[in-house]
A and B are shown apart, each in its own frame.
Chain A
Amino acid sequence: MSAVMKPLRNIGIIGYGAYIPVYRLPATEISELWRDGQDNLFLPVKQKSVPGKDEDTITMSIEAAQNALKRAQIDATKIRAIWIGSESHPYAVKPSGTVVAQVLGIVPDILSADMEFACKAGTEAMQAASAFVGSGMGDYALAIGMDTAQGRPGDALEYTAAAGGAAYIIGPAEESLAILEGSYSFVTDTPDFFRRAYQHYPEHGNRFTGDPAYFKHITGSVTKLLEGLNLEPSDFAAAVFHQPNSKFPQKIAKQLGFTSEQIKHGLLAPYIGNTYAGASPLGLTDVLDYSKPGDRVLIASFGSGAGSDAFSFIVTDKIKDAVKRAPLTQDYIGRSIKIDYSRYARWRKKINR
């Protein structure tokens, strides 16, 4: 078996920050419009978050990163890399990371690139940041997972395609509020979901998205991580799994041996939908908001195409002060303005004047 991934230098999370737009579209609005409410009893989420007319992956990444900086309390100019994982970068060609870095005042002595791997682009950025700091190339790196996902009108994904995400500042273990124990990445060529160039909406492989994609890859990354670290599910205080809907994360948790108590924090899909590359990183910010020193926390992403990154962190006593320095994930979930389908259609440019 391949070894667990761990950098030579011990590293961890020194700051984290969430962002979720304020607007919510109830799933019943979509159901009433396209299915006459016939599926009202089987909706995949209660509602989803919708970005405002002036929001995109860049603006949302800025606020999440500002929250992460408030918690990290470092000289921001010491951040030497910024990676933003998203499938909704505002430009096809022009990096999101340079705008975010300019706003944060951390240019020009910094490495920047955008990442794409469907819903796991955010944890991919975390892997890169861990390796960057772990190798000693820099003391701090900023990893962001953020999306303003689009679903085709009337498609099953329209119920869940949402907006939000989280930012992490990775740094040396001795400054960390959660120290990385190890990670494991698991990837195969799987055509479960894709969007071709110049297409506005993605295509999905219907039933193919379950067992051969989501369940196989998360099972792969988590099982190998736990074997490599010689851990059992019961060793964890909390676990976060990618959440394309309310059901999948609860089912994978049960299959892998985690209890509903272990996933009660961080299971945000029912209230905000699937924030794609932001989903599992945002689940982790919620878990960290409620964590105690000594807690062991698992995060496992899933991205179509397909792959999963799993990480194990141990929370330190630095969490106690850090939590209070920026808005909680639940603060963002709690501030909600409901909109109807017509506003959603206009704001998301499904109809134009």
Chain B
Amino acid sequence: MDIPRYWRLKDQRYRLQGKKCLDCGNLSFPPRLVCPKCKSRNYEKYFFIGKGTVYSHTTIYQAPDRFDHIAPYSVGLIDLEEGVRITAQFTDVPAEELKIGMKVEMVIRQIYEDGPKGPILYGYKFRPVISV
């Protein structure tokens, strides 16, 4: 990821900042310019709470170069409490313990280091719920 993109997307990566349609209430993540439901362009920022359930998951053994240092790792689809489905990595859970329907919560982790001299990219991952 190049530095301008890293900077521009930081609130999406750090805080699950999506958008809420002011006309029909539809929530979207990542944020969209046009509401897919009512075609409105009338939006406000919306920060997802970051809790949800596992819809599906898989484990990556042959990883792209940037993720090679953490392989094997699990990724999946998560249904957020607000009704939006997103993709993310899982962390702090062995692959054999991941289950469809498991309750998970967002944490901020290193996504990757852009080489030994580049920036460190941080963003959301999901783990089994421990917070109260």
Contact = CB atoms under 8 A, between A and B. Distances in A.
Nearest to B89: A54
Contact of A22 (B68, B92, B110, B119): B92
B110 A327 contact: no
A52 B132 CA distance: 22
B94 interface: yes
Contacts of A102: 10-11, 14
Contact of A54 (B11, B14, B70, B131): B70
Contacts of B39: none
A54 B125 contact: yes
Contacts of B70: 53-54
Interface string B68-83: 1110000000000000
Interface in A45-96: 52-56, 58-59, 62-63, 67, 70, 90-91, 94
Contacts of A56: 110, 120
A247 interface: no
B109 interface: yes
A59 B122 contact: yes
Interface residues of B, number: 23
B51 interface: no
Interface residues of A, number: 27
A257 interface: no
Interface in B71-130: 91-92, 94, 107-111, 119-120, 122, 125, 130
Contacts of B125: 54
Contacts of A91: 120
A335 interface: yes
Interface of B is mostly: mixed
B17 to A, nearest CB: 9
Contacts of B92: 22, 52, 337
Interface string A255-273: 0000000000000000000
B15 interface: yes
A16 to B, nearest CB: 14
A353 interface: yes
Contacts of A325: 132
Contacts of B119: 94
Contacts of A105: 15, 47
A304 B29 CA distance: 47
B9 to A, nearest CB: 12
Contacts of A326: 131-132
Contacts of A55: 109-110
A237 interface: no
A91 B47 CA distance: 28
B60 to A, nearest CB: 13
Given A53-B69, A62-B108, A327-B130, A99 B94 contact: no
Nearest to B109: A54
Contacts of A324: 132
B110 A54 contact: yes
Nearest to A54: B109
Candidate in A58, A70, A353 with the most chain B CB atoms within 10 angstroms: A58
A103 interface: yes
List the 5 closest A-B pairs by CB distance, nearest first.
Answer: A54-B109, A103-B14, A54-B110, A53-B70, A62-B108
11 contacts: A54-B109, A58-B120, A59-B122, A62-B108, A63-B107, A70-B132, A102-B14, A103-B15, A103-B108, A326-B131, A331-B130
Given A53-B69, A59-B109, A327-B132, 8 more contacts: A54-B109, A59-B107, A62-B107, A62-B108, A63-B107, A90-B120, A326-B131, A331-B130
